[in-house]
Structures are given as structure tokens and as C-alpha cells.
Amino acid sequence: MEVSFSTEIESLRLGNGDTFHGEGILAITKALLQSGVAYVGGYQGAPVSHLMDVLVQAKGYMDELGVHVEACSNEASAAAMLGASIHYPLRGAVTWKSIVGTNVAADALSNLASPGVKGGVLVVVGEDYGEGASVIQERTHAFALKSGMVLLDPRPDLARMVDMVEHGFALSEASNMPALMELRIRACHVRGSFTAKDNQPPAISTRALMEDPAAFDYSRLAHPPVTFRHEKLKYEERIPAARRYIVEHGLNELLPGRHADLGLIVQGGLTNTLVRALQQFGLADAFGELQIPTLVLNVTSPLVPDQIASFCAGKRAVLVLEEGQPEYIEQEIATLLRRRDIPTPLSGKDVLPTGGEYTVEVMAAGLAAWLKQALPQLDTASVQQWLAGNQQRRAGVVQQLPAPLPARPPGFCIGCPERPVFSAIKLAQETVGPVHVAADIGCHSFGTFEPFSTGHTILGYGMSLASRAGVSPHMNRRVLSIMGDGGFWHNGLLTGVQSALFNGDDAVLLIFKNGYTSATGTQDILSTPDEDTKVNATDKTQSLVHTNQTIENALKGLGVQWLRTVHTYEVAKMRATLTEAFTAPFNGLKVIVAEGECQLERQRRIKPWIASLLQKGERVVRVKYGVDEDVCNGDHACIRLSGCPTLTLKDNPDPLKVDPVATVIDGCVGCGLCGENAHAATLCPSFYRAEVVQNPRWHERLLHSLRGAFVRALQPS
């Protein structure tokens, strides 16, 4: 990986009594080491990617502790690692991104939860929910319920989060249940401090190996007939044991308040937001002291019936603040109260939104509706005015606009090697006609936005080729599937390529080979160029990823016969190759590998190199593209075909022309796409390529002076 976490790695070495300062996810990473974790694995992906990124880069220190770190090819392989804790007293932790990762890992998780674990297991899940999410709107809670796993949702305070990691392992061991810990984006990035402890080298580790494997025990397999016994163990022994541990160690927090006849029950991860919302009503202070008794559920599954009943009994009203839907916690509490004949009125989704992220404003609106009935003497006028004022301010901004603001969806980075391929896809369809495009997860999913608007389905990471299987037989034109190299190794090789070859499908697969799992933070993958190649590469190395041929070799090994590798920036060649794939007489899987290094990684590599050259006074040439405003015809087809942020508009300098002209602004990385598009699509010849020379040689300076003098001589006086 190109991004360095050297500072973060050093903070992992802090010992007993030292003060840790940093982000939430890094605190979780430190807590794993303090808990004596023996092995860690996971799949990269925000908002928990730092956990794996830091540990992978800290391999030297992990070796000192005897901790094994595995960068897994997908979430299923990460979850399968946890099988080590079924037989052995090994503490293991894995991590991935939210529900999409848990979906991939579901098979292994179910087969782990059935026999249960001997060593503590913790799955750190980035709960990417709400409007800020980049994934489908589902919750991890359902997996904990269906499989019989503990679900932790710690209050976003670093000390409490670290404490819950340590208790998570102990709770897992006490109940023999795997534990999930969900961390929202804000919790991952919340900053704070806590008093560190010494890291605990695991008793069994890479430095202290086991002599013999465990004795065969059929009851530890997730296989009938013992799975029927496992089901009984979950609800007769494991969940009761978990509940006892939760109560004995006070994992859920009871915050007192003077309005003892009311109550709030909140997911731990929402506590900070709740405190801020209550401050609007004067029911909390800046130090988090509340005036309404609140039960903070740092463990949201399993709930402790006696704890819930004791909290609700004798209260006039209780409000459950649970983000997302279905309302699992509210339903469970309602059932529990009904069975115990506790008549306390229970509110939740009746006053709060069913779905969406619970921000302070959302919570305040729900609290206002509940307090109107529960605490009618409370003056909520100021809060209502604040909420109404927010709406009025938004409406006022809209009214001042001459037209509605255009949507600003995410897009490709400047110079992204994937943008020219989508230009080529648009051009190819002018020849072959519209095609069905099965899109995929990754940077290339930005191609679904304008100006490309390319893609009909996104059904999972690496699933594009598999998702077109039902479309191809019913289409009179070949279907295009788009996949990244990260998706190829994650899932696409087996679910897509192997299946298409086995079934003899006539399909077209386009693989973006940019050398990294770019969308999640440019982590290394199997087809990443080796370090020596990256270090020795120069500015002229555009085809850096060509040094690694594992994707092509894997495709050939599986039996792919029609295979083309094309550099992504060669738009005309890519267009011709796509057209050939759509029209070739060959009946079978046709694969195009679009090769071009991730521009972010390329810039990270060459910028320090260029800076070092300039510091030495050496000659450096930088390519810059521009538009000749006298030639530009103002139809802006170049922008509609490119979408590059640095290719935009400016006022026409000709007073007789009204249409603005295209222009290339600062930020251009010199990828050459604008010129390639103009050539491939036969657009107006207004683009020019310039070379900016820094530290020029004496003869270049002389030649420049002569040219300048000649140009001035030709200019009218």
C-alpha cells in the first residue's frame, strides 16, 4: 500500500499508563492487542479499513507479539479464519464493511455460530447505515438474531469502546458465542483519548506453537445430527450465559435522571447523538448528565429481560431509540413487557422515522413528539422553533436559487484510467447499438452516473458476469459485464468466469486492471505490481500494472480463449476492441482486460520523485493539455464524452459569440483523455498538448527566446 500509517503503528506500542490519542478505529486496533488476540484478518473497506491497513503495515511489530495478520481475499475467507477458535483457546478478530461484507461471510458465520467457540471471537463491522452510506440500507442486527451471536454497539467514547473490545472477547468465551461489534462511521472517526494498557502476547501464537492438533470431536462440527444439539445449546446455555456476563460486568449502562417516571432506551452507538438532542430541550448538559433515566445498550443482542423489565416497571412512558428498520429491539422489548404483564407505554418508530440515519435533528423531532405526551409541562417551543427555522432556512436557500442545484454524485478522480473506457463504451454503442450492461461494485460503478449513465444492475462485488446470466439468453445482442480487478479476485473469478465457461455462455467481460483495490483505499491485491517495479518506475511508465500478469494467466488457466489486453487511455483502440467483442463470430466468453494504473497511486508515486528531481536542479517535463479557444466550436461534445472535472467551461472571449468555450483548468494530470476522445469521436481539433519544462537546459532557454522574438515580430504593432 502506498498510504503510510507509520504514526498509527507507533501508537500501537503504547504501554500501561500511557495516554492514547487518536481515532476510534485505531483505538479498537490497540484494544485487540491489549486483549491478547492471536490472529487478525479481514477485507478492506471503509469505515473500518484502518484496522487492517495499520496491522498489515505493522507486520514487524505483529511478529514480535506473535500475532498472525491475514489480508483476506474476501469476507467469506476472513470469517472462515475464525474456525481456529472452535477447537483452540485462540482469540481471533476479523473486520469488514457492514451488511455487504456480512452477507458474503454469512455461510461461514452460520457454521461458526452453530458449534460455538472456545477462544473468544470478535467481528468488527463498519455499520455503514443512513444517508452517508455507500451500500444497501440493511442492518447487521438480523445476523446476530438469526445465528445466535452477541452484538455489541459501544457508546462512542474511546475508553468505553476499548473496554467493550476486551469484554467482547471475554463475553464470547463465557458464552461460547461469536461476538459482532458494529461501529458507525462517526464512531470509527471520533477522536479522543484513553489510558492504555500493555499489549498481551497470546499464549499460543506464531512464536509459541501448538505441538498437536485437537482430538477429533464430532460435536464441534456444524454438521447434522449435532447441529440439532447446537440449536438447543444456543438458547438453553449460551444466551443465558451471555446475559449473566452482561449483568455481572455492567456492560449496559444505566444513566440516572430526575424524571424517574420516564425512560429512554438507546443503542450505545447513538448515545452521543441523544445527549446532543436532549440538550436542545434543556434535559442534558454539556457534560452528558441527563434528566431522563436512560438505559444505554452497549450490547444490543442478546437483551437481558430482567434488566429491561426492571428499567421499564413503574414508568409512565419509555421511548426506544433504535436506528434503522425493522425495529428489532423495540419489538423484542414490547414482547418482553407484554409477557410480563408490564403496562408501561412503549414508543419508538411511532414518533421516530422508520429508516434513515438518526441525526440530532431527527432525534429532536422524535423527542419533541414523545415529550408532548410524556412531559406536557416541558416547554418545547424553542426546539420547535429551531426545527422550523432549519426548514425555513433550507427553503429560503432554495428560493434564492435561480434554478435547482444540479445533483453532485461522486465521480471518477481526475485522470482516472477507467473514465476513457466508458467513453469507448459510449462510442462503441454508436456502432453496435445499445447493449445491456451488468455493472459491479468498485470505482467503475461511478460510470452509472452522468455523462456515461452506463449500467443496468449492481448485484454484489464481483457479481457482474454472474448477474447477466439470466439476461444473455433473452437478448438479441451480447451483454457487457464490467468488473474491477478487486472484484475479480474477491468473487468474480469463481462466480462469474468459471460459471460462464462451464455453461458455454456467449458473453463479454470487461475487467479494469488498475493494480489495486482502489475504491476501498488502494490496498494491494494479487495483481498489484511488485515493490521493485513501483520504486523504479518513472513518469513515463503508464502501463505499470502490465508487470503483473496474474489476471491474464488465471483466465488462460481456466480456459478463456478470446482474451485482449488494451491500455485504457487508447480510446480508439478500446472502442474497436469492444466492437469486435460484440460482433465477433466466436461463440463463448470474450474477456477484455482494460489496463491502466490507478491515477491516485501513480500520483503518489511520481510526485515525490519529481520533487526530488527539482530539488537536484534536474530537468523535469510535465504534460499539460489545453483548448484553443479560437478553434473551439462550443458544442461541448468533448465534455459530454469525458466528464473530467478539469475539462469545463469559460466565457467565450469572442464578443460576437455567445456560447461558452471549453477549457482545461489547473489540476489536469496530463492523462491525454480529452485528446484521445477528440480523435476517436472525430470532434473539433481544438485540443493541444503542451510540455511544461522546469529547469530547462541552456539551449532550450535560447531556443525559447528566439521563438518568442520571432512570434513578437509577426504580431501587428
- Which domain CATH number covers 531? 3.40.50.970
Cell 462469474 identifies what position? 496
pLDDT confidence of residue 2: 47
**Claim to verify: residue 272 and residue 240 sit in the same structural domain:** no
pLDDT digits (tens, 9 = 90+) for 692-710: 899 999 998 999 899 889 9
**Claim to verify: residue 223 and residue 276 sit in the same structural domain:** no
Residue ending a domain, among 365, 400, 435, is: 400
What's the CATH number where 325 sits?
Answer: 3.40.50.920
Confidence of residue 540 (pLDDT cuts 50, 70, 90): very low
Residue ending a domain, among 574, 602, 630, is: 602
Q: Is residue 126 part of a domain?
A: yes
709 vs 702, 703, 705, 714, CA distance in Å? Answer: 11, 10, 6, 9
3-state SS assignment for residue 536: helix
Q: Is residue 692 part of a domain?
A: yes
Question: What is the Cα–Cα distance from 263 to 310, expressed in whole angstroms?
Answer: 11
Confidence of residue 501 (pLDDT cuts 50, 70, 90): very high
pLDDT confidence of residue 499: 95
**Claim to verify: residue 91 and residue 181 sit in the same structural domain:** yes
- Which of 236-240, 357-361, 395-399 bottoms out in mean pLDDT, i.e. has the lowest? 395-399
**Claim to verify: residue 656 and residue 573 sit in the same structural domain:** no
Q: Is residue 278 part of a domain?
A: yes
pLDDT at 346 over 90: yes
pLDDT at 436 over 80: yes
Confidence of residue 654 (pLDDT cuts 50, 70, 90): confident
- Pick from 256, 503, 280: which is nearest to 389 by CA? 280
Q: Is residue 169 part of a domain?
A: yes
- Pick from 618, 299, 591, 645: which is nearest to 465 by CA? 591
Cα-Cα-Cα-Cα dihedral sign, residues 662, 668, 670, 673: negative
- Of 385-394, 537-546, 553-562, 634-643, the range with the highest mean pLDDT is 553-562
**Claim to verify: residue 571 and residue 626 sit in the same structural domain:** no
pLDDT confidence of residue 3: 62
**Claim to verify: residue 44 and residue 158 sit in the same structural domain:** yes
Question: What is the Cα–Cα distance from 320 to 374, expressed in whole angstroms?
Answer: 13
- Which of 266-270, 417-421, 528-532 bottoms out in mean pLDDT, i.e. has the lowest? 528-532
Type of residue numbered 267: Q
Q: Is residue 608 part of a domain?
A: no
**Termini Cα distance of the chain:** 58
Residue ending a domain, among 201, 230, 248, is: 248
pLDDT confidence of residue 544: 64
What number is the average pLDDT over the span 648-655? 87
**Claim to verify: residue 490 and residue 505 sit in the same structural domain:** yes
**Claim to verify: residue 482 and residue 522 sit in the same structural domain:** yes
What number is the average pLDDT over the span 520-525? 82
Q: Is residue 612 part of a domain?
A: no
Confidence of residue 44 (pLDDT cuts 50, 70, 90): confident
pLDDT confidence of residue 237: 97
pLDDT confidence of residue 541: 43
**Claim to verify: residue 123 and residue 263 sit in the same structural domain:** no
- Pick from 17, 8, 9, 13: which is nearest to 197 by CA? 17
| Domain around 63 | 6-209+217-248
Which grid cell sits at 160?
468505553
Which grid cell sits at 60?
514487524
> Against a cut of 0.75, is the pTM above it?
yes
**Claim to verify: residue 677 and residue 638 sit in the same structural domain:** yes
What number is the average pLDDT over the span 59-70? 95
pLDDT at 230 over 50: yes
Q: Is residue 405 part of a domain?
A: no
- For residue 518, give every residue at least 6 positions away whose Cβ sits within 8 Å of its Cβ, in sequence order, or none: 442, 443, 484, 486, 598, 600, 601
Question: What is the Cα–Cα distance from 465 to 488, expressed in whole angstroms?
Answer: 10
Which grid cell sits at 289?
448528565
pLDDT at 383 over 50: yes
- Which of 127-131, 314-318, 586-590, 628-632 bottoms out in mean pLDDT, i.e. has the lowest? 127-131
Which grid cell sits at 94?
476479523
Cell 495478520 identifies what position? 69
**Claim to verify: residue 21 and residue 79 sit in the same structural domain:** yes
Q: Is residue 175 part of a domain?
A: yes
Q: What is the mean pLDDT of the chain?
A: 91
**Claim to verify: residue 578 and residue 445 sit in the same structural domain:** yes
pLDDT digits (tens, 9 = 90+) for 275-326: 999 999 999 998 889 999 999 999 999 999 999 999 999 999 999 999 998 9
**8 Å CB contact between 182 and 324:** no
pLDDT confidence of residue 684: 81
As for how many domains the chain has, the answer is 4
